[in-house]
Structure 1
């Protein structure tokens, strides 16, 4: 079982939350919120596709793009670490569902577009112990729906495509990408609600469930655990 992270296991941020985070970035760097917002938006690709290898590099990149002083890098990196820890907090119901899947024999993997600050915070999160494999875009060097990501996670789990199920909220054309890779795909309603922001979403007419919490019952009905 391969799971998306943002919008699937943890809430995708809303426009209000993104704006609040940008304001914190702006305060740390000593620039206007509008500058920080623009740079964060324009740098999404670079922060997620492996161009920047660490949270330190991300912080330095953002400081340079905002024309802030280099001395702000360390403080910005600390802010990013705090925000990443908050973003990775999971609902108790979700953690119980993951435990059910594990106890039922499912091997679990994460496949997510993520920046290095998220990747570095992952092992300290409540989610990490539940997963056998983790593939983040910043480490793999590609973003969804690049087939490289799906091949990589299948290799990490050591399963054939037809043996794997992909579950996500649909951002980044991930569901179609999973099917092109030979996997079955299931859509979940976006965690965080319809106001949460998502990029690259496409129409989906396949199997859908309300949340990851419904996966144990779905797999039992399929007899796949």
Structure 2
């Protein structure tokens, strides 16, 4: 029965968001810890770093900074730190990126279930270069032959080009795909406008997790990624 799930439910592919969906959204505590680490690496005050990180979210994610080195140099400049600290900031960026990309065992079980069912999987994430660079070193990466990162595409959600890119790489039409995310970046509306069925999951890490560009959503919702296989199963009888 599992092998035919994708055909029976007219869902050949699931496109997943990353932060707040497969891995927890950053918490206030994590954000504060990262700020302290960057402040130590640059030998500047934590408040300066916090302001620079908040003000630079878009430029770090939309492709204008095309490498980890450029992100590090940008942050050093924004914080008024010495250029000699760029290497230390690069190292900190990569270390924090790997820490952020750890997923719960239950997430891997969901991905295993979908993959065994013949469902194609793709990732679509607003991400900065250190995330894109470190992605291939994580266990999650092996589940996603298709991974679309905003920093590599030169656009952030809900840009329609990102959804088109994911569908193109999947080789699956929009009406036979499902987008699953916590709603950051107005991604659910973006998916819907692209003709993809959108499913909201409660933010992994809790409602206080950091998210940008979230808007109200009145469409389909479930408690977590762990419920996605059941959602597909429930549609069988419709």
Fold agreement, TM-score > 0.5: yes
Per-residue CA distance 1:105-163 (angstroms, 9 max, x = gap): 11000001000000000000110001120000000100011111111111111111111
TM-score for both structures, normalised by structure 1 = 0.97
| Aligned counterpart in structure 1 of residue 108 of structure 2, from 95, 99, 117 | 95
1:1-225 equivalences under 5 Å are 1-223=14-236
Structure 1 consecutive aligned stretches of length 4 or more whose deviation exceeds 3 Å: none
Long gaps (5+) in structure 1? none
TM-score for both structures, normalised by structure 2 = 0.92
For 2:65, what is the secondary structure of its paired residue? coil
For 1:127, what is the secondary structure of its paired residue? helix
How far the C-alpha of 1:44 sits from its partner, in A, is 0.6
**What CA distance in whole angstroms lies between the structure 1 residues aligned with 2:48 and 2:218?**
39
How far the C-alpha of 1:223 sits from its partner, in A, is 3.8
Report the RMSD for the aligned CA atoms in angstroms.
Answer: 1.1
How far the C-alpha of 1:195 sits from its partner, in A, is 1.3
Per-residue CA distance 1:181-205 (angstroms, 9 max, x = gap): 0000000010000111211111111
For 1:108, what is the secondary structure of its paired residue? strand
**What CA distance in whole angstroms lies between the structure 2 residues aligned with 1:133 and 1:75?**
31
Long gaps (5+) in structure 2? 1-13
Q: Which moved more, 1:194-203 or 1:119-128?
A: 194-203
How far the C-alpha of 1:221 sits from its partner, in A, is 2.1
For 2:219, what is the secondary structure of its paired residue? coil
**What CA distance in whole angstroms lies between the structure 2 residues aligned with 1:55 and 1:97?**
31
**What CA distance in whole angstroms lies between the structure 2 residues aligned with 1:49 and 1:222?**
36
